[in-house]
Chains A and B, each alone.
Chain A
Amino acid sequence: MREITYSEAVREALSQEMRKNDDVYILGEDIGVYGGAFGVTRGMIEEFGPDRIRNTPISEAGIAGAAVGSALTGMRPIVELQFSDFITIAMDQMANQAAKIRYMYGGKGHVPMVLRTPSGSGTGAAAQHSQSLEAWVAHIPGLKVVQPSTGYDAKGLLKAAIDDDNPVIFYEHKTLYGTKSDVPEEQYSIPLGQAAIKREGTDVTIVAYAVMVPRALEAAKELEKEGISVEVVDPRTLVPLDKETIVKSVSKTGRVVVAHEAVKRGGYGGEIASMIAESDAFDFLDAPIKRLGGAESPIPYNPELEKAHVPQVPDLIQAVKETLNKA
């Protein structure tokens, strides 16, 4: 199969859909000639023109509001925010408008929009350009939340997100943009709410998403050398969450580490851990559920401190061993 990068996979998903569906257009800051903050839309303005690749003023509230309005009138807008940190500015539109309208109008109107935005640390972009705020949006009923960890998943999930009649927050991890994976050329869709078992194992389950998935896989590889078999489950979408796959895996292994880059306190890992504890898997838990998340501080600018802030491969290895009383 053909190997392309994560960002190429996202671009391909956008382009393929836009060729087919005239209702789809993109709006965001500097997405035209400049190609967006991370170059995802590079070259698209040449193919689709400035009406469908729309540069906007620097106002996330305005961009999101325009998208909600045009979605209500029948378009399928795709918003690109340069950094997911600025979803805070778009939050009123997303939480109070996009998420509520379909419900409040009894289904007479709906908001089929996608908000794409790069998240996460690892680029030395400091505290205001490195956060992972997915728990904020995952908390709001009416919003769907996607966090792909590979180009393959990104392309298929983005197709499903565009097709969905509800607002979808689509996180793209900054440091994954350059990673390559096998991605089919034809269009395909990965249903929202379907987790992927990225690696099968028997001793401990790691539930990880976004950049934590490749780290978990690396940790699993290291741990295998010590005879510890790790299963890596990538939920891929936080809302809806594929509880069944997670519960099944944890029931099998009896031990689980939930890892994300977002600050651990109030992070979505707490939701996953609670869901496991409330589930059928409880009776099979043979160790306390372990959560890994970012430190309770803003992301430091210093690259070493930035690294230390979020869970890395050795942290995952340590956490797995702790659940096995082998640390």
Chain B
Amino acid sequence: MAKEVFMPKLSSTMEEGTLLEWFKEEGDSVEVGEPLFEIMTDKINIEVESYEEGVLLKRYYDVDAEIPVNAVIGYVGEEGENVPENPPEAGADNGEGAEEETARSEADASADEVQDGTGDDKVRATPAARRIAREANVNLASVQGSGPKGRRHEHDVKNVLDSTKATPLADKIAADQGVDLSAVEGSGPHGKVRKDDVLQHTTHAAAQSVPADDVERIKLKGLRKAVADKMVQSTTEIPHVTLTSEIDMTHVIDVRKTLLPIIEKQTGYRVSYTEILMKAVSQLMDAHPRVNASLDGNEIVLNKSVNIGLAVAVEDGLIVPSVKDADKKGLAQLTKVSKTLGQKARDNKLTPDEMAGSTFSISNLGMYAIDGFTPIINPPETAILGVGRIVEKPVVIDGEIEVRPIMTLSLSFDHRAIDGAPAAAFLTDLKERLENPYGLLI
């Protein structure tokens, strides 16, 4: 006989749980004690283990569903057993999975009796409860009645309205940021407060603290909005780590000086350090595939081609065109493509294809008085290289102090995909390649 899988009641205040992940597919076999799914309550995230051995026959809810405690969310049984197509009513048959103790009041028990009925039983509710439910657009059938025979009273409806005021995530964020939820306007059903409502409320509140006539307000829209969204996505989703290393640029400067007239003659463009860095980075990707990767959900995608994204500052925004197959291009071609793409970006003439598909990005602030910085990864990429200015510094070489042109490289990487050591190895190889740039020719 198939056994129900229930949403557990993990605390006295828990009324519902949010399904975060299923660990088993329908049809998978399940052992006792094996994690079946993960839920988030108002307090914690927890993996819920199976009480039964058998096959997961049914999953009634998808990830992110908010499910009341003791609701049946699936069945475990023997292969081929029949289970209901739709989840049975919560609390209908508590079976073995239910954590509920006998502490429930008689009123609760009789409430269940009513709900156990054929389903088309009329809802018992006082006129006052009906009025409030009508005004707040609450389905009375979904309200647990505290009165005799499950009669819904005014306070039962009010309780539901209060308890559904915010999603668990919004609740958590509000608690973390010390936001008073009652001051937040909810955008969900019945004015339920969601994550975005809380975030919006906090930014709005911060903005409000400045007197209105002292500021000029610019609406986030178009490219600005796209950049903003992408930055928020990147910084909130990706655990960034930034490594820095100082590069002695003596030889790269020589190489550039030598190549400058040649490439200019060939292409009409002046080669810059960016292209040389691009060349060096591309050549290292074979040895460091994780740096040239994309994170897609729960998978790390190792990219075969090396497409270098080039951060280009444009009017009130940032665009990252992609230099395709950078590892297969010579410096002259890289220079031509980079310059062309840069110009197109500034002219707002890039095609979608030219902006897509980058596997690693370079952001060069070397034209400013910037030494190092912490670049933000361009998702779904897993790393980005920040380039600082070249500045003459005293360095110690073989026991002697010498003045050398030094440039700081800042490598930010996604710690979900790459660990510190391989990232450091990549940056070390890059330093090595730049300080001995003739390797570029090999």
Contacts and interface: CB of A to CB of B under 8 A. Distances in A.
Same complex for A and B? Answer yes
B153 A287 contact: yes
A286 B128 contact: yes
Given A254-B154, A325-B107, A325-B153, A287 B126 contact: yes
Nearest to B128: A286
A285 interface: yes
A74 B154 CA distance: 56
B154 A286 contact: yes
B129 interface: yes
A280 to B, nearest CB: 11
Contacts of A284: 127-128, 131
A226 interface: no
Most buried by A among B127, B130, B131, B147: B127
Interface of A is mostly: loop
Interface in B107-166: 107, 126-131, 146-148, 153-155
Interface of B is mostly: helix
A313 to B, nearest CB: 24
Contacts of A287: 126, 147, 153
Most buried by A among B128, B131, B146, B147: B128
Nearest to B131: A283
A285 B131 CA distance: 10
Interface in A288-305: 288
Interface residues of B, number: 13
Contacts of B147: 287, 325
A245 to B, nearest CB: 20
A282 interface: yes
Contacts of B127: 282-286
A130 B130 CA distance: 43
Contacts of B131: 283-284
Contacts of A325: 107, 146-148, 153
Interface in A252-287: 254, 282-287
Interface in A217-241: none
A257 to B, nearest CB: 15
Contacts of A283: 127-128, 130-131
Contacts of B130: 283
A216 to B, nearest CB: 23
Nearest to A288: B126
Nearest to B146: A325
Nearest to B107: A325
Contacts of A254: 126, 128, 154
B80 to A, nearest CB: 48
A265 to B, nearest CB: 23
A284 B131 CA distance: 8
Contacts of B128: 254, 283-286
Contacts of B155: 286
A288 B147 CA distance: 11
A284 B132 CA distance: 9
Most buried by B among A283, A285, A286, A325: A286
Contacts of B153: 286-287, 325
Nearest to A322: B148
Interface string B150-193: 00011100000000000000000000000000000000000000
A149 B128 CA distance: 32
A284 B127 CA distance: 6
B240 to A, nearest CB: 55
Nearest to A281: B127
A217 to B, nearest CB: 26
Interface in A93-136: none
B145 to A, nearest CB: 10
Contacts of B154: 254, 286
A127 B153 CA distance: 42
A286 B129 contact: yes
A169 B127 CA distance: 36
A287 B152 CA distance: 10
B138 to A, nearest CB: 15
Nearest to B126: A286
Interface of B: 107, 126-131, 146-148, 153-155
Which 3 pairs from chain A and chain B are nearest by CB? A286-B128, A283-B131, A286-B154
Given A254-B126, A284-B128, A284-B131, 12 more contacts: A254-B128, A254-B154, A283-B128, A285-B126, A285-B128, A287-B126, A287-B147, A287-B153, A288-B126, A325-B147, A325-B148, A325-B153
Interface of A: 254, 282-288, 325
23 contacts: A254-B128, A254-B154, A282-B127, A283-B127, A283-B128, A283-B130, A283-B131, A284-B127, A284-B131, A285-B126, A285-B128, A286-B126, A286-B127, A286-B128, A286-B129, A286-B154, A286-B155, A287-B126, A288-B126, A325-B107, A325-B146, A325-B147, A325-B153
